[in-house]
Amino acid sequence: MGTLHVLNHPLIQHKLSILRDKETSVKEFRELVSEIAGLMCFEATRDMPTEEVEIETPVAKAKVRRLSGKKMAIIPILRAGLGMVDGILNLVPGCKVGHIGLYRDPETLNPVEYYCKLPNDIADREIIVLDPMLATGGSASAAIGFIKQHGGQHIRLMCIIGAPEGADRVLKDHPDVDVFVAAMDEKLNDHGYIVPGLGDAGDRIFGTK
Ligand code: PRP
Ligand code: URA
């Protein structure tokens, strides 16, 4: 069974409190999503393997550590996941970016796939799937399923706000996947929105409402 990590660092909590506020502007919302993703990436990559290499500083030879083995890929779930990409690329500029397009059917709440483009060597990469919201878990679970069908093997999920139903669903459907959230909220409402949540993440990132 995968592990649920709640990354409630004070800096993340502070930024999240502004993100949730309905008065926060689109510009600030977008910046905060990116910043929180960067802070979360710090924790979500904590166990990435490193290897010793020798370099020369201006003063002496030194044995230092660098990331080793598998390289990373991030895969935002379109569209809201796009808001998390830059925050991670700022820290890991060499990581590849795949895309999965899913939308949640408003009637059934079931995910519908409309786009998928992943790096060719996806099987060899440490993958972080990105989506700010983990509500019923349907979108994240389906996205992870598609990535596995394309050969992805080492997958983590990073969401800013989760609902218990969504985390349970992903951990049950994909016992090999660890889930990272900045906050675990109380519940879903009748429309499948996270309560208290932050509303519609995609609309708030892109200003479409
Ligand atoms: C939102 C969100 C997740 C999904 C979460 O996307 O970004 O992808 O809903 O809900 P779930 O856990 O119940 O599947 P939405 O379908 O609104 O699309 P968008 O990103 O294009 O706004
Ligand atoms: N998608 C969102 O953008 N927000 C929610 O609360 C649930 C799903």
Quick: pLDDT tens for 47-78.
988 999 999 999 999 999 998 877 899 999 99
Residue 133: is its pLDDT beyond 80? yes
- Measured CA to CA, the distance from residue 105 to residue 95 in angstroms comes to 31
Residue 177: is its pLDDT beyond 80? yes
**Is the distance from the beta carbon of residue 197 to the nearest atom of ligand 2 less than 6 Å?**
yes
pTM beyond 0.85: the answer is yes
Residues with CB under 6 Å of ligand 1 are 77, 79-80, 103-104, 109, 111, 131-140, 166, 192, 200-202
Give nearest CA residue, ligand 1 atom 7: 80
Looking at residue 107, its pLDDT comes to 85
Looking at residue 82, its pLDDT comes to 98
4-206 is a CATH 1.20.120.530 domain: no
Which residue intervals of 75-153 are DSSP H helices?
85-89, 138-149
- Give residue limits of the domains in the chain: 4-206
Residues whose CB is less than 8 angstroms from the CB of residue 193 and which lie 6 or more positions away in sequence, other chains included? 135, 199, 200
Looking at residue 103, its pLDDT comes to 82
Q: Say how many C-beta atoms besides its own lie within 10 A of residue 146's C-beta.
A: 17
Residues annotated catalytic, as ranges: 104, 108, 200, 203
Quick: pLDDT tens for 96-115.
999 999 887 888 878 888 99
